[in-house]
Structure 1
Amino acid sequence: MPATLTGYEARSCLGDAEETFRGLCAGRSGAGRLGARFLPDEVGVTSSYEIRDDSPGLAHVHRAAALLGQVVAGAAARAALDAKQLRVVAIVGTGLRELAAAERWHLDGSPFSATELHFGDVVRDALPGVAEVLTVSNACSASGYALALAQDLLDADEADAVVVAGTDSLTLSLLAVMGRGSAQPSEAVRPFDRDRRGVLLGEGAAAVVLEARPSTRPGAEPALGVLHSVGLSCDAHHETAPHAPGIAAAMQAAYDAAGVTPADVGLVVAHGTGTALNDPLEAATLADAYQSRSVPVTAIKGGTGHTSGAAALMSVIVAAQAMRSGAVPPITGLRDAIDEAQGLDLVTGAPRACDATLAQVDAFGFGGVNAVALVGAAT
């Protein structure tokens, strides 16, 4: 059944949820020189989409948890959510958990406990009274999967509200993996661009409150939107390479669950990683689904970087903001579209007027772990 997004918050290199959306609409890129926490010569990466260390409350270690606590508290406040009065469950999607803290323990013996790989303590501090905290760790679609699990819990009447979140921070080991996967370091993510050089990591967290019906609680802000469905697939085609049938299966599952067709979708927020394999394959799959229909397609990673476990939920929030504000952000960094995307209505240069009432949000992870959400405008 459809569920209502009654509260939300995000943190990216561009700022909070509203600042991130305004930055994307302005075509801003949060890419910059890799911070002093990492040595470019060691990791083979010179740039990133970092949240700078002077940000309030953000430490060098346990950054994923710190970001998560901020967005969970912010989303709950917007929804006027009291977890001591309602049955509230939290589900956190993450690609890396607190890997940076584990790396620091290995390098210099900084205190570290395996329990920190699960985010129970920080969520309970941010949301006192929460009944249960679940952590889902499955690559770049993690918060999309968390959103699907949340909808299942509401459908089964196992919770009155579910706080769905995603979080990740930069880590030494993943930066090194990215650095060794490209002959020439990328300086920015350029989704669907002919001269793209690959993905760059971004730090960030996002959270929404999902409820079976709109909130009537005093002090609650107006709903952000409606979650109609999440289509999932796990094709296990390859360790890293995406697979068109798996992506198409997740898209079709979302349409079927919502009882819609691609003809009902008025906006697409693509996964758009700026990589050699993802962009052509995603573009071709979208073109096949939408045929000759002119559906605006945008992507946010040129502005925010790839926020890993937070990426799906970050895009969901942006999709809902676009429908609420009537403006679709352009794709930052896109100048010359690849051949496979020529049939798509890519939003470039400036924001596009938006009258969509249903948006598709793509999130694809390593191992063919795919999540496609269909988000409706708030009513």
Structure 2
Amino acid sequence: MPATITASAVRTCFGDGPATWAALLRGDCGVAPLDRATAEQVGVGSGYPIADGGSFRPSRWLADCVREALAAAGVDPRRQRVVSLVGTGLRESAEVERAALAGVVDFPAERLHFGGAVAAAAPGVERVVTLANACSAGGHALALAQDLVETGDADAVLVGGTDGSTASMLAMIGRVASRPTERVRPFDADRAGVLLGDGAAVLVVERERGDGGLARLLATGLSCDAGHETAPDPEGILRAVRDAHERAGRRPDQIDLVLAHGTGTALNDATEAHVLAEVFAGCAPGPLVTAVKGAVGHTSGGSALLSVAVAVEALRTGHVPPIAGLARPAPEAAGLRLVRGEAVRADPRVAQVDAFGFGGLNAVTLLEAVR
């Protein structure tokens, strides 16, 4: 039986799932200034932060999403075989940075991962595995979750993704940007680069059940081209897209909506636009294309699942949010049906979600509406 997404929970700079969806439909941008001390140290003045304090923030966001998603799905790990896969890019590296600055040299390695946070939020969960697969980590976790459910090795899988900004990652962005980035502008001719966003997302994946769930999880195509440390490889991305279509048994002309990776960087946007143009060549009028990073920033290891959660809502409701920050499409994206300005009413049946990570870690997911 096919795998189904039966519940979703997210946390972004806008708040929980309903607040985030409403903000996306309005075309809001959650960018905010970073504190002055941080900005001076790392050379980045803005981000898409979740305004809360304390330590181990990604773990707390993830735990909140786990509890919410379990309740929505009606899944009880104490009575069912439930495992959890958590995708991340940075793990709890911010805590390591703080410990190092405080002179602590024996930071417990297990606190980098999320086993304790998930187990506390989901008593009875059989196992928690953290996948540190850069910005496509959630997509890789989703592929494994589908395997576990379809082979009968789990009754349900909690698929999570979470990341928070770190000084080291901010400093890297500050060094490579050609000019200060004020906001993320995916596929815009005036884009200046990427900014980090705080966030977490959790999906519950089960076998298809009587109520149909939220959306069918058709397939996730994967590739690991290792072509460059950071630059995307179009051939590697193309392999992941075609792998997803083949596994799902869907043709390009059957795809109605694409949730693009859309980082607002010159390399990613141009590469992704060219790949989409090649894949959907001859598919008139072609799928609608949107992206969420202009609204919530780049949420790193949580970004793939956040896009999947948004795609699920688009399939359920028939509304597609616009790309926040897109005013003047870049030439390479001119042939795409970019959603800009305002949300559009549509009737998408199949959605494609792109996620590309450093080192050529690519994951492309196909979902189908159940309405």
**Pair in the same fold by TM > 0.5:** yes
Which residue pairs with 2:343 in the alignment? 351
How far residue 35 of structure 1 moved from its aligned partner, in angstroms, is 3.5
Q: Which amino acid aligns with 1:267?
A: L
Whether contact under 8 Å (1:2, 1:229) holds in the other structure is no
Matches within 5 A, 1:237-316: 237-292=227-282, 293-294=284-285, 295-316=287-308
Q: 1:153 aligns with which of 143, 148, 151?
A: 148
Which residue pairs with 2:178 in the alignment? 183
Quick one: distance in 2 between partners of 1:212 and 1:279? 35
Matches within 5 A, 1:94-243: 94-109=88-103, 112-214=107-209, 223-243=213-233
Which residue pairs with 1:219 in the alignment? none
Quick one: distance in 2 between partners of 1:327 and 1:183? 36
How far residue 109 of structure 1 moved from its aligned partner, in angstroms, is 3.8
Quick one: distance in 2 between partners of 1:376 and 1:82? 26
Task: Name the % identity.
Answer: 51
Q: Which amino acid aligns with 2:230?
A: T
Q: Which amino acid aligns with 1:82?
A: D
1:89 aligns with 2:83: yes
CA RMSD, Structure 1 to Structure 2 (Å): 1.3
Quick one: distance in 1 between partners of 2:118 and 2:334? 44
Deviations 1:37-57 (A, max 9, x none): x5211100000000112xxxx
Deviations 1:85-136 (A, max 9, x none): 0000000000010000111110014683111112111101110000000100
Deviations 1:312-334 (A, max 9, x none): 00000101101111110000000
Which residue pairs with 2:22 in the alignment? 22
Whether contact under 8 Å (1:6, 1:215) holds in the other structure is no
Q: Which amino acid aligns with 2:157?
A: V
Quick one: distance in 2 between partners of 1:299 and 1:156? 32
Quick one: distance in 2 between partners of 1:167 and 1:78? 19
Q: Which contiguous aligned blocks of 4+ residues in structure 1 show a shift greater than 6 angstroms?
A: none
Which residue pairs with 2:70 in the alignment? 76
Q: How many corresponding residue pairs?
A: 368
Gaps of 5+ in 1: 54-58, 217-221
Q: Which amino acid aligns with 1:355?
A: D
How far residue 215 of structure 1 moved from its aligned partner, in angstroms, is 6.1
Gaps of 5+ in 2: none
Q: Which amino acid aligns with 1:209?
A: V
Q: Which amino acid aligns with 2:280?
A: Y
* Structure 1 stretch displaced more, 166-175 or 181-190: 181-190
Quick one: distance in 1 between partners of 2:17 and 2:223? 28
Whether contact under 8 Å (1:94, 1:138) holds in the other structure is yes
Quick one: distance in 1 between partners of 2:178 and 2:192? 9
Quick one: distance in 1 between partners of 2:209 and 2:120? 26
* TM-score (ref. length: structure 1): 0.95
Q: Which amino acid aligns with 2:177?
A: S
